Chains A and B, each alone.
Chain A
Amino acid sequence: DGGITQSPKYLFRKEGQNVTLSCEQNLNHDAMYWYRQDPGQGLRLIYYSQIVNDFQKGDIAEGYSVSREKKESFPLTVTSAQKNPTAFYLCASSIEHSFPDEQFFGPGTRLTVL
């Protein structure tokens, strides 16, 4: 079955540590996205990538970094510079980066900073 996988499902980090969240898709989609979800709020875009070896900042990129070395993979690193990293992180993809744009979501990773 085609889809998006995210790992791990739960992640715990000590303050001051960097941590990397995995996102893999086998849908052959060109575009991939990272969102952050906080309780009672909608989704906020962190980074997006339209094509391999290219990515752009979203609305809340500070304290995060990404790479897109393969079409299938779009890992997100939460760095120690992110002041409030505890949140639910969602990865998504779409066929291409154009309007209209239906996005397909992974199951999410819940990050908790101890």
Chain B
Amino acid sequence: GNSVTQMEGPVTLSEEAFLTINCTYTATGYPSLFWYVQYPGEGLQLLLKATKADDKGSNKGFEATYRKETTSFHLEKGSVQVSDSAVYFCALSAPGPNDYKLSFGAGTTVTVRA
């Protein structure tokens, strides 16, 4: 079945540090890949997405590239801010019997300190 594995947290960084959150996936066919962000006490917001191999999604300084050869979709940001403190979820949607379903990783908690 489809599944997403993302690096465990928590991750604690200083402001202006470089952030990478690893995400790898297992899926049938050619999935679409997503990164969602959850700020404290809130629901999830779509951060970025990529729908085919080699696509790069980007938003708010975050980037992730859909790598089919390594089945990965790692999230990166070059210089984090305190306001980036949140939980980040990698997710996929794949064609087939379960294409109604988003499969989520467990989430990575990121804390940025001033």
Q: Which residues of A contact B (CB under 8 A)?
A: 4, 6, 31, 40-43, 45, 48, 50, 56, 58, 90, 92, 97-108
Contact = CB atoms under 8 A, between A and B. Distances in A.
Contact of B43 (A42, A56, A105): A105
Contacts of B32: 99-101
The 9 closest A-B pairs by CB, nearest first: A100-B32, A42-B104, A105-B43, A99-B99, A105-B44, A107-B43, A43-B104, A42-B106, A101-B93
Contacts of B95: 99
Contact of A41 (B4, B45, B49, B107): B107
A56 B100 CA distance: 10
Nearest to A107: B43
18 contacts: A4-B43, A6-B43, A31-B100, A41-B106, A42-B106, A43-B89, A45-B102, A48-B100, A90-B44, A97-B100, A99-B32, A100-B32, A101-B100, A103-B46, A104-B46, A105-B36, A105-B44, A106-B43
Contacts of B46: 102-104
Interface string B75-103: 00000000000000100011100011110
A77 B43 CA distance: 19
B58 interface: no
Nearest to B92: A100
Interface residues of B, number: 24
A88 to B, nearest CB: 9
Contacts of A108: 41-43
A58 B41 CA distance: 24
A105 B45 contact: yes
Interface string B40-55: 0111111001010000
Contacts of A97: 100
A62 to B, nearest CB: 17
B73 interface: no
B25 interface: no
B7 to A, nearest CB: 13
Contacts of B45: 105
